[in-house]
Structure 1
Amino acid sequence: MKILLIAGGWSHERKISLSGARDIEKTLLSRGHSVTFFDLLTGFDQLLHAATEHEFAMINLHGAPGEDGLVQAMLDTANCPYQGTGPATSLLALHKAAAKQIFRYTGLPTPDWEFLPRPPDACWNPRLPYPLFAKSNTGGSSLLMGRARNRAELDARLAEIFSAGDEVLLEPELRGVEVTCGVLEENALPPLLIEPTAGDFFDYASKYAAGGARETCPAPLPEVTTAEVRRLALAAHRALGLTGYSRADFILTDNGTPTLLEVNTLPGMTATSLVPQEAAALGLDFGRMLEKLIKLGMRRKKA
């Protein structure tokens, strides 16, 4: 199959996107596909033309554009199938404050939050108690995310995120361990336990530094907890109206209760990324998983 591999872009996560795309390219080539590596940063004005010359697009973008549905909308215009969900549902999942409204509306457990689309007035005080986590509302990979124990630390976090041109989402700190759970074709995968070694929460360094975290899949959890995490991951996938695949991130509080943080529609895609590890636990290696995503994308186009 002639595949357009779309990567790079211009978000803060550009380097991560390019690095992961090389793994995808190598794997697809080894399986007999023809692959065109397309850097969205330099090729955006040629995207529609390139899409019409390929049978399928594999999107490996993180942040916007890509996870916001823009590229998906353009591919739909060019009648080019791609993996994962469509434009509108991509945007709903990327916008953390919007997604959390949907989670709360559909009865899914998610932490309280405060959304700051612009820098607040000088008289503003957060509604939530310290310590707080401040994160980019539409960013990923834990870039710009950090803990604030007091107003001075919070102001510094806010200034960093706003200066990057992002909106801010505030959440209270939840003590517990982080678990992630992928969904592939309406089936929840085995959850994966994340234990940071470079700090006490899963920040950017923990995700991408060598030895930054221990990742165990399947997660060594009680059977009832595993079942609940998988149920919630699938429920979140459906609540957002997603298709193909996704990855839900949770905090397991000290009493073992899972709380949904967010859902990613274009999760990291290398052989050692989280969702591929979960698929491998079921005997689906990286190459076969990519083939599955292509099959699901083609099916979605026909539907």
Structure 2
Amino acid sequence: MSKLTDIKNEHIAVLYGGDSAEREVSLLSGKAIAKGLKREGFKVTLIDTKGYCLSQLSQLNIDRVFIALHGRGGEDGCVQGALEYMGIPYTGSGVLGSALSMDKNRSKQVMQACGLPTAPFVVVDKAHFNEAKASNILAKLGGKVMVKPAHEGSSIGMSMANDATQLTKALADAFSYDAEVLVEAWINGPEYTVSILGEQALPAIHMETPNAFYDYQAKYQSTSTLYHCPCHLSEQDEQTLQSLALQAFKATGAQGWGRVDVMRNENNDWQILEVNTVPGMTETSLVPKAAKVAGLSFEQLVTRILELSAEKDTGSSHD
């Protein structure tokens, strides 16, 4: 009996919702995934994890979990660790890959150590920051910066600053999400994203927004954001970008599926932003867009993600 036939006989729980700042997006992703799996004949139970005790999964005879939780709790290794402990297989990255990819500061440090191209940055600790340090940070990073909470996704809590007053305010905002904040040199260039499916990098997508940057509003609310896929890079540039994305994905220990966000600076150099281990999965999200160009329907995509979870070896008893 083939792996796919085995999986088709399994009871799949789609974990979605949760209580992170990305709850609303996760609710949409989970519903879309569940619909896609049901259309493929899977037995699916949708579970909103907000206020839910995961130990109840054992009473539902769940064979495998499709994680559709974005942000804290679902994308940072927490739910992965719980499922490992319970011996329930799940989609996507393991505990380490999830935790490291979610931590913008440490994933940047790993990429830097691996020699992967990423913009200059400073990690700022809430306990040791004072306004007098703002000018020094700006001077070190070229005078204009992007401020990012270390453990949020969907551009939540992010803002731009080009003077000490703006930076102090941006950091105060970001500190409301995280005690550690990433301050990154501003990249003046186009933004791309590369979806990863196993060992395969899907066609890159170029995002265009009239906003100052590709923020939450541009991602989820705007009707003026443009997505180009194919993105009209030269064949060589596309291959270089896909190769870098795969390297970044592996550097943080990510597995199975995900998405790597990259920008190109004014010197045409690629600069890796971050690795997303549970990116958005509505039928109009970026990973399904790229999969469609690669010839995969939404149903084939979610099925492949389940297949990859059966193929991965996390070293745990359920593999």
Residues 74-113 of structure 1: matches in 2 within 5 Å?
74-113=82-121
The answer as to 2:161 corresponding to 1:154 is: no
Q: 1:241 to 1:133 in 2, by over 3 A?
A: same
Task: Give 1:266 deviation, angstroms.
Answer: 0.7
**1:124 counterpart SS class:** helix
Q: Which residue of 2 aligns with 1:232?
A: 244
Aligned to 1:16: 25
2:124 aligned partner:
116
Distance, in Å, in 1 between the alignment partners of 2:65 and 2:44 is 10
2:12 to 3, 12, 17: 3
Q: Deviations over 1:14-51 (max 9, x none)?
A: 111112211112222222222222111120xx202315
When normalised by structure 2's length, the TM-score is 0.90
- Look up the SS of the partner of 1:211 in the other structure: coil
Q: 2:301 aligns with which of 285, 289, 301?
A: 289
Contact 1:128 1:171 in 2 (8 A): yes
Q: Match for 2:43 among 34, 42, 49?
A: 34
Deviation at 1:123, TM superposition (A): 3.3
Larger CA deviation: 245-254 vs 228-237: 245-254
How far did 1:254 drift? 2.8
In structure 1, C-alpha distance between the alignment counterparts of 2:269 and 2:31, rounded to whole Å:
38
Post-superposition offset of 1:114 = 0.9
Q: Deviations over 1:53-108 (max 9, x none)?
A: 20110111111111110101111111111111100111111111111111111110
Aligned amino acid, residue 89 of structure 1? G
> Secondary structure at the residue paired with 2:51?
helix
Equivalent position amino acid for 1:182 in 2: S
Which of 177, 181, 185 pairs up with 2:198?
Answer: 185
The residue identity in structure 2 corresponding to 1:32 is G
Counterpart of 2:16, as a letter, is: A
Instruction: Give, as a single letter, the amino acid of the residue that structure 2 aligns with 1:175.
Output: N
Q: Is the contact between residue 2 and residue 33 of structure 1 (CA under 8 Å) also seen in structure 2?
A: yes
Question: Which whole-Å CA distance do the structure 2 matches of 1:65 and 1:267 have between them?
Answer: 14
Give SS of 2:89's match.
Answer: coil
* Structure-to-structure mapping, 1:210-289, within 5 angstroms: 210-289=222-301
Q: Which amino acid aligns with 2:164?
A: R
Which residue identity is paired with 2:132? C
How big is the shift at 1:256? Answer: 2.6
SS of aligned partner of 1:220: coil
- 1:187 Cα deviation from its structure 2 partner: 1.1
CA shift for structure 1 position 250: 0.7
1:131 is the counterpart of 2:144: yes
**What letter corresponds to residue 27 of structure 2 in structure 1?**
L
What letter matches 2:188 in structure 1?
R
Where does structure 1 lack aligned partners over 5 or more consecutive residues? none
TM-score of the aligned structures, taking structure 1 as reference length: 0.94
Distance 2:267 2:286 in 1: 24
Tell me how far apart the structure 1 counterparts of residues 105 and 176 of structure 2 sit (CA, whole Å). 19
In percent, how many aligned pairs have the same letter? 34
Contact preservation (8 Å) 1:131, 1:173: yes
Q: 2:177 aligns with which of 164, 172, 179?
A: 164
What SS is found at the alignment partner of 2:190? strand
Kept after mapping to 1: 8 A contact 2:149/2:181? yes
Contact 2:131–2:168 (CA under 8 A) maintained in structure 1: no
Query: Cα 1:154–1:174, aligned 2, differ >3 Å: closer, same or farther?
Result: same
Aligned-partner Cα distance in 2 for 1:96–1:110: 12
Mapped partners of 1:171, 1:227: distance in 2: 26
- Asked whether the equivalents of residues 4 and 51 of structure 1 are also in contact (C-alpha less than 8 Å), the reply is no
CA displacement 1:134-179 (0-9 Å, x = unmatched): 0111111011111112111111111112123453110011111001
Are residues 51 and 98 of structure 1, via their aligned partners in 2, closer, same or farther at CA, if it must alter by over 3 Å? farther
C-alpha RMSD over aligned residues: 1.6
Taking the aligned partners of 1:187 and 1:260, their CA distance within structure 2 comes to: 18
Q: 1:51 to 1:200 in 2, by over 3 A?
A: farther
DSSP-derived class of the 1:235 partner: helix
